[in-house]
Structure 1
Amino acid sequence: MADRGGTPLPTVALANVIVGLPKCSPCRSTPPRRSSYMTTRRIMLARLGQAGAMVSLPGLLLAACGEQTPKASPTKAPEAAKGETAKPVAVASTPVPAPAAPSTGAPKPGGTIKIALYQEPGNLNPYLNVQNAGNVVRNTIFGGMVRPNEKGEYVPDLAKEVPTTKNGLVSADGKTVTYKLRQDVKWHDGKPFTAKDVRFTFDVIMDPANPVTSRLGYRDIESFTMKDQYTFEVRFKTFFAPFISLFGAILPAHAFEGKTAIDKSDFNRKPIGTGPYRFVEWASGDHITVAKNPDYYVKDKPYIDQVIFRITPSREVGIAQLKTGEVDVVWNLIEAQIPEFEGDKEIDVWAKPGVGVERLVLNFSTPTGERAGDPTTKHPVLSDPKVREAIELAINKKLIVDKLLYGKTTVGTSPLSTGWAAPAIPASEFNPEKAKKLLEDAGWKAGPDGTRVKDGVKASLTYQTTSGDKLREMAQQVVQEMLKEVGIALEIKNIPSASLLGTWADNAPRAKGTFDINMWTTNPGIDPHFHLFSYFHSSQIPTDSNKGEGQNYARLKDDTVDKSLDEAGSTPDLDRRKAAFERAVKAVTASRAHIFLYNRLDVDGARKYVMGRTHNPWDNLAWDLENWWLSK
């Protein structure tokens, strides 16, 4: 595999990082304006009708049971100065369109590509950003030590090689890791990249003043030693299994003048990186532009001169622009939109099995008052495990997949839909009558309006997702009607992606715990430890005391989950890790802190002249944008 498409460099699989074993095969979040309820409902009913469903939502359920941000002046970029390996698991088979035949011509340099994003990033700092759209943009700007390729292997990026025990860069006990850096890398302003920048990045992450999304793994580092300008060593207090995932993006020390407090820095909107593209400008609500990095360390890359990320109010607007040629690519389409492009002579659908899972996230803490989000409090409705179980029993996931997603994917069963560590979890039962009995037996009695009540508390909940996402809005209304059937009322209150999925400092609902039920997708990596630990370990609950660090937004506290994840992160034995992950995942699914609706495909749309792209289930759309080119 080529390093960023340049000189071939060694690839290293997950198992190899520690013990040099054979590779483990790879296996198989929004716009400013919300569409009205009635408009979305009509679209949903029309789509259900197209899919051969009943023409009314109540009929469907019965059958199943027996505003855009104003444009602002653009922000300009600063002027640049010149044990055994786990058995391979196959990708789940999902019916998708046949991929377009690859171009046989030589890559053609030059040109501008426009990519539609229906979410506007909150910022572009890799340690503060929590949105997938932000990750797409920042992938073009920043580099890290290593990164995953499309085969599920770790490949060098800013490091000369991937540290392993085999090459002597990882100690026998796995606690000391040495990195040797490339010496031909420059920052976008022309300054040299050195180990000092990696040390600065570590200090930024560990600075308690910074509301970073997670310090997982970094806080386990006992010492950081710069051996020379291009070599550094980290020593862990105890063995940390997914150490290779650390230092995934490096920040420039000189750009901050040694100051590690970065929360309010202009850098977050005007970043400087080492990646194939350099930041040019950000016009809020309209576009973000990056341009070819002339000093990129891979010879003759990237091919495309300029990339413009167009901020659109919805996927549908992006699709309309794709059809007219106003944009060349649309990011993150949905499975239900695949048929729209079948047989299209000018547009390709890039649809491949992904690793993301769409889910409901249930808040276990009180969502209101001074103690909102406090994990020592209890949600007045959702803290009752019988209510959570009834919610899942009442949802016909297969109906959502078959009718809203045209059967293009499968129902969700766990946070790990695929991969070497994914356990076999059976699909949840759809049984609204059982749900009603559970609620009745737990003391939740039907009130005059049909909504259940217990001890004066109504089973009435707010239900939020990212506004402007038609599929999610349609799914919300289906779920709303299904839960109404068992006596649970849902009020839909959607907000823009940057607001819902923002940080603790942004007072985002999921971070602060000021919500009842959220709905969104998130993706694990090749090694699922970071994902599972961040979302489900009790130490990762965002609180005032930890300044919002962590992504356990459900406020789940489960001893089995905690102990299993602690074990999974402390041993190099893949069999032990897999068993520990399975225990954790089973406990998570039983808790119903997250209710997994359906497994996502990675779906993007592009004009047929966009060439050179390779799908990577372990990374996002722009992971190899330096290899793209335009044949027109």
Structure 2
Amino acid sequence: MSSKSRTRRFGLVVVLLLLAFALSACPAQPVAPGEAPSETAPPSLVTITFVQEPDNLSPLYTTMWFSGILTDFWLLGLWNFNDNLEPTPQLAREIPTAANGGISEDGRTITIHLREDARWSDGAPVTAADFVFTYEMIMDERNAVISRHPYDQFVAGVEADGEHTLVVTFHEPYAPWLSSIFTYVLPKHILEPVMEANGTLDGADWNRNPTVGVGPYVFKEWESGSHLLFERNPNHWQQPNIDRIFIRITPDDAAQVAAIKAGDTDIGVFISFSDVPELEALGTVNVVSTPSGFMEGWFFNFGEQAHPAIRDRNVRWALAHGFDRWQITQDLLLGLSEPPASPWDLSPYASPNIQPVPYDPERAAQLLDEAGWVMGADGVREKDGEKLILRYVTNMRRLRLDTQVVVQDMFRDLGVRFELINHPSDIFFASYAEGGAIATGQYDIAEWSSQPEAYPDPDTSRWTCREIPTPDNPAGSNWNFYCNPELDELFARQAVTVDMQARIAIFEEIERIIQEDMVWLGVWQDNDIWTVSKRLSNVRLSGADPFWNAANWTLE
């Protein structure tokens, strides 16, 4: 899942003061491995602006994009995906294949050989036991993790075969394993004592203050509303070229653009489409667009807290026909995107038989009439004394705020009204256990940008019955509260189908059901747009793991 933005405006002076504070408050780092710090040369620093503050740093407890992309700096997994979406070994020595003996003949067992020179930032060795512990923490019901997928359904066991060999066994051959297992690892020597003392990791200090990690950088500080700081990890096998990574939290898109124009940031993150022409004209930055599998969409609430109209498929289809998404992409996105037909748009798994729902306000009105929602004297439709006023909820991203306003006007003549609600992202994307606004069903239509959890693989658990969170089972990512046993069976079948063409055919059926039931409506294809300062070299942004090669970045 993804998100983006906040509202509040800082002047340029404040931005410069924040940078000055960061430079003065942090202890000096060595310029190169083994060298003493120079008295004349300050530590090298790359500044990255975020328009949304992370809600958590532990991958156990967040699906927030702004949190997830930071793991490339400080919490690596077995491998990540480069700018060509190819797996690149990190804590694994190599990618398991049948040829190198890493995949068993029956396809059910994956053997991973770990790097023997991998160390946690405190110097402790990274071992297979850390991965076994990670699996146990994901599966332990005392931890209200964001999701247990895919381990709970597909993994039969995780074992350590010595210190540096990890063995993962599946119930059946599992197609998406390469992009869905052990994308991160937890430090057993740090968190096991916490688990033993508290019986859970839910409130662990490490979740927001992970001073021990494994990556080219190590977490140093997080000042809420201001910044996060990462410093070179002296125990990483590949010493990065740059000493510090400074994440500045900016209040909104306008503040980020001001920082880019002033040269106060090296990487601008999730740039608004409307800002692209102005930034391209600067000449001081490169504007980079990376397909990342993210699709902006409307998620309809099928839960008990939803307005009764939303639980009627005719009404959902009426809303789809009444929403001119092409007006949004032309007017607000400058024609740089278009409405997606499928959550898997722009991928080999997108069905050619599924087309975007056409804009047809006459059909929308007809469907509302058929559903019994008749126009009232005040211009608002009603049924059985209930007004058709829907809670349209999203976060503070400027583009979403603008979209809400356009939608409000777009549906006026159809007799549909919206209560426009916006939450800071840490509330909007918070988990069920944390009382998150969407996870607990406090909406009728919610808008955000999502990608398959296993991207670049299409596998997702988002619409399966078992992922619906409840008080007894708060771990779950199905915030639509949609349950369809037929869809569950298809998702389970695609996961164990290793033939790509057969798997594509299953996804065509999945897409058909999602559209027929109008579970999700695509609004725009949400490519990641970045700016990279021309003083920063060798930045190869990936749609799956944006900062995968951060250790290789260089400053001129």
Structure 2: runs of 5+ lacking an equivalent: 10-17, 30-40
Q: What is the RMSD of the two structures over their aligned residues, measured on CA atoms?
A: 2.3
Task: Give the alignment of 1:317-328 within 5 angstroms.
Answer: 317-328=255-266
Residue in 2 that maps onto 1:166: 99
Kindly indicate whether the alpha-carbon contact (under 8 Å) linking 1:329 and 1:607 is maintained by their aligned counterparts in 2.
yes
Q: Which moved more, 1:120-129 or 1:130-139?
A: 130-139
Alignment partners' CA distance in 2, 1:561 and 1:337: 39
Q: CA deviation at 1:365?
A: 1.3
Alignment partners' CA distance in 1, 2:330 and 2:126: 51
Give 3-state SS (helix, strand or coil) of 1:308's partner: strand
Alignment partners' CA distance in 2, 1:609 and 1:203: 44
Give 3-state SS (helix, strand or coil) of 1:485's partner: coil
2:189 counterpart of 1:254: yes
Alignment partners' CA distance in 1, 2:69 and 2:292: 15
- In structure 2, relative to structure 1, the CA distance for the partners of 1:527 and 1:287 (3 Å cut) is closer
Q: CA deviation at 1:228?
A: 0.5
Residue 310 of structure 2 aligns with an amino acid whose one-letter code is: L
- In structure 2, relative to structure 1, the CA distance for the partners of 1:172 and 1:134 (3 Å cut) is same
Residue in 2 that maps onto 1:45: none
Residue in 1 that maps onto 2:320: 392
- In structure 2, relative to structure 1, the CA distance for the partners of 1:346 and 1:527 (3 Å cut) is closer
Residue 403 of structure 1 aligns with an amino acid whose one-letter code is: D
Alignment partners' CA distance in 1, 2:243 and 2:126: 23
2:132 counterpart of 1:199: yes
Q: Deviations over 1:76-105 (max 9, x none)?
A: 999x9xxxxxxxxxxxxxxxxxxxxxxxxx
Give 3-state SS (helix, strand or coil) of 1:359's partner: strand
Q: CA deviation at 1:34?
A: 6.5
Q: CA deviation at 1:560?
A: 3.2
2:553 counterpart of 1:625: no
2:170 counterpart of 1:231: no
Query: Percent same amino acid at aligned positions?
Result: 32
Alignment partners' CA distance in 1, 2:123 and 2:356: 53
2:135 counterpart of 1:184: no
Q: CA deviation at 1:601?
A: 2.1
Residue in 1 that maps onto 2:486: 560
Residue in 2 that maps onto 1:137: 70
- Which of the residues 435, 445, 457 maps onto 2:386? 457
2:141 counterpart of 1:208: yes
2:245 counterpart of 1:307: yes
Alignment partners' CA distance in 2, 1:379 and 1:255: 46
Residue in 1 that maps onto 2:204: 265
Alignment partners' CA distance in 1, 2:78 and 2:72: 13
2:502 counterpart of 1:576: yes
Residue 136 of structure 1 aligns with an amino acid whose one-letter code is: I
Kindly indicate whether the alpha-carbon contact (under 8 Å) linking 2:78 and 2:182 is maintained by their aligned counterparts in 1.
yes
Alignment partners' CA distance in 1, 2:142 and 2:543: 34
- Which of the residues 249, 255, 279 maps onto 2:219? 279
Alignment partners' CA distance in 2, 1:379 and 1:364: 9
2:360 counterpart of 1:435: no
Alignment partners' CA distance in 2, 1:203 and 1:554: 28
Give 3-state SS (helix, strand or coil) of 1:127's partner: helix
Give 3-state SS (helix, strand or coil) of 2:526's partner: strand
Residue 519 of structure 1 aligns with an amino acid whose one-letter code is: E
Residue in 2 that maps onto 1:512: 440
Alignment partners' CA distance in 2, 1:263 and 1:77: 29
Residue in 1 that maps onto 2:35: none
Q: CA deviation at 1:161?
A: 1.2
Give 3-state SS (helix, strand or coil) of 2:70's partner: helix
Q: Deviations over 1:471-521 (max 9, x none)?
A: 111111111211222111111110100000111222001111121111110
Alignment partners' CA distance in 2, 1:540 and 1:154: 28
2:526 counterpart of 1:600: yes
- In structure 2, relative to structure 1, the CA distance for the partners of 1:110 and 1:613 (3 Å cut) is farther
Alignment partners' CA distance in 2, 1:147 and 1:213: 21
Q: CA deviation at 1:627?
A: 2.0
- In structure 2, relative to structure 1, the CA distance for the partners of 1:345 and 1:224 (3 Å cut) is closer
Kindly indicate whether the alpha-carbon contact (under 8 Å) linking 2:373 and 2:381 is maintained by their aligned counterparts in 1.
yes
Alignment partners' CA distance in 2, 1:527 and 1:290: 27
Residue in 2 that maps onto 1:297: 237
Task: Give the alignment of 1:387-426 within 5 angstroms.
Answer: 387-424=315-352, 425-426=354-355
Alignment partners' CA distance in 2, 1:222 and 1:566: 15
Q: CA deviation at 1:259?
A: 4.3
Kindly indicate whether the alpha-carbon contact (under 8 Å) linking 1:419 and 1:526 is maintained by their aligned counterparts in 2.
no
Q: Deviations over 1:103-143 (max 9, x none)?
A: xxxxx996101111011111100121221111122221111
Alignment partners' CA distance in 2, 1:155 and 1:434: 49
Q: Deviations over 1:436-455 (max 9, x none)?
A: 11111211001122111111
Q: CA deviation at 1:526?
A: 4.2
Kindly indicate whether the alpha-carbon contact (under 8 Å) linking 1:535 and 1:553 is maintained by their aligned counterparts in 2.
yes
Q: Deviations over 1:324-371 (max 9, x none)?
A: 12222221012221111233222221223332111111101122xxxx
Residue 583 of structure 1 aligns with an amino acid whose one-letter code is: E
Residue in 1 that maps onto 2:419: 491
Kindly indicate whether the alpha-carbon contact (under 8 Å) linking 2:80 and 2:548 is maintained by their aligned counterparts in 1.
no
2:470 counterpart of 1:535: no
Residue 616 of structure 1 aligns with an amino acid whose one-letter code is: S
Task: Give the alignment of 1:2-81 within 5 angstroms.
Answer: 29-33=3-7
Alignment partners' CA distance in 1, 2:536 and 2:232: 17
Q: CA deviation at 1:32?
A: 5.0
Alignment partners' CA distance in 1, 2:307 and 2:220: 46
